[in-house]
Chains A and B, each alone.
Chain A
């Protein structure tokens, strides 16, 4: 069996900034340096990988592409600490290292036939993107797709082109928000939990998936409850500092659950009684 601590080298096919600023987000499209890795690699939406550079370190990121997108993996990475700063210096043609796929996935098989609502904020759209892409690529298996997404300003929106395309092609109904009024902004102004109430999706035969900053998640969960969603209809992802990513090194636990192994995907029913999940 392959040593789970040894990463694969990947080559950057394309690198571009999603957002500006000190905590900018850069999306990398990569392929394995050794093409043969593709023969054994298989991931599902929601799964993660340790991403890094030998000599710098590695950190856990969601794989922001769906396995239905062939020939590459995507990672959307916010510049935050030592490792992400080093990764941001890389451009097309450079390489970094990836260990995975790790963790569990969104239960998209179970969700077949249901209406799906994604509710994202900021970089939280990264784990939701493969869900949306998966549904688009298996469109007849799912009901209505509603995409709710917000960020502080229009410049802070990730995957801008994709939302436009998504709306125009009719695969989904997109609802976008920014926190503060901007000239020429045609969509909602306000926070994501408020936009959720505006859109007011029906809980009937529906699944809501939400990822974003903790304060957003807190109010989204409250509002979903008001809309009639039960905890087992609501999914989110958790994150914590990780080192091994394979359930050994200890630190990422929330209560008895390892975020790296039992997560990152959890239903609200699974974690609502674990206070550390919201710490």
Chain B
């Protein structure tokens, strides 16, 4: 499909068109930018770096019902995700889209997760390339990503100044482009080539990096290494590194009983950085301190996940570095892994 352009003057009307779906876009919320459902195109804030909370919550909500029940009634009423309707995430960053394609492997492995996969099926991802790395701690290029990366996206938008270059990448993307056709014009000649040059420039501006070669194989050999004690010494166990990670997918399942015996079984984000995460009913905890929990967090992302799913479960978005209250830096930990003997 030929590339198109979306004039910045027409962004509002294009977004208006998309409000017939469940439209999710970056929006200001107090001091930070988050992804939320918008009904007023004016709420969308596209001139942003990256969101504090990744858009993973759209396909993997922080808390979601699995089924509802009524005490005394054997019938369990399964949550119907279909009701949420067709969803468009507009303006997400390439790293966060790539994260979804990584997490897809987990949720479709062996047992298919019906809630997650149905939402993914219903969702079209319209990405926005990073002309400038949004953060000094971006390192997507070390993990096979790019500020202009297309993996996981259905459409890629590139900010060309007075307009966006619109490139449909999948069948879903082409369908959405058709829906928006009244607001689009033909892209200027040579524009895709220009975007490629911009991509190379943006990649060159990524300031941090790690050579991941050999890390997945090396990590299990460093089980008792002193680096884990050092890496976790300052950790408060707050779990923000995992909650705000676009590839972290661990969840808890809890039952809630409301009034009159009506209740639900729900799942909610959980974190391997919490002690209760692995606590047995007997009181035994196989990961009793933050040392073991930090070791698991890094090993899961950089060793266990690639061993099973052939991809590292990190996209280099830098959130865990930017938002850690005690400045724990995953790249510094990985450098210690590389240097360890």
Footprint of B on A, CB under 8 Å?
1, 3-7, 9, 33, 54-59, 80-81, 83-84, 95, 97, 239-241, 243-244, 246-251, 253-256, 261, 274-276, 279
> Counting chain A CB atoms within 10 Å of each CB, which of B115, B253, B287, B300 scores highest?
B253
Determine chain B's interface SS by DSSP, over half rule: mixed
B45 contacts partner chain A, Cβ-Cβ < 8 Å? no
Pick the contact of A248 from B67, B251, B279 — CB < 8 Å? B251
Asked if A55 and B69 sit within 8 Å, CB to CB, the answer is yes
**When the two chains form their complex, are residues A256 and B270 in contact, meaning their CB atoms are under 8 A apart?**
no
Across the interface, do B251 and A6 meet the contact criterion of CB distance under 8 Å?
A: no
Task: State in angstroms the CA–CA spacing of A9 and B75 once bound together.
Answer: 9
Quick one: given A247-B111, A251-B270, are A84 and B281 in contact (CB under 8 Å)? yes
Q: A54-B255, A248-B111 are in contact. Are A279 and B67 (CB under 8 A)?
A: no
Secondary structure at the A interface, as helix, strand, loop or mixed, is loop
**Contact with B71, one of A5, A55, A250, A255 (Cβ below 8 angstroms):** A55
For A83, the chain B residues whose CB sits under 8 A away are 281
Given contacts A240-B286, A279-B287, contact A251 B255 (CB under 8 A): no
- Nearest CB on A from B107, distance (A): 6
Given A250-B272, A251-B272, verify A5-B300 contact (CB < 8 Å).
Answer: no
Is A246's CB under 8 angstroms from B110's CB? yes
B303 at the interface (CB under 8 A from A): yes
Residues of A within 8 A of B279 (CB): 241
> Nearest chain-A residue to B258 (Cβ)?
A55
Given the complex, which residues of A lie within 8 Å of B287, measured CB to CB?
279
Residue B265 lies at the interface, judged by CB distance under 8 Å to chain A: yes
Residues in B with CB closer than 8 Å to A255 are 220, 299, 304
Once the chains are docked, how many angstroms separate the CA of A276 from the CA of B295? 11
In whole angstroms, how far apart are the Cα atoms of A83 and B300 in the complex? 29
Which residues from chain A contact B48 at a C-beta distance below 8 Å? none
Q: Which residue of B lies closest to A253 (CB)?
A: B304
Contact (Cβ within 8 A) B250 A251: yes
For B21, the chain A residues whose CB sits under 8 A away are none
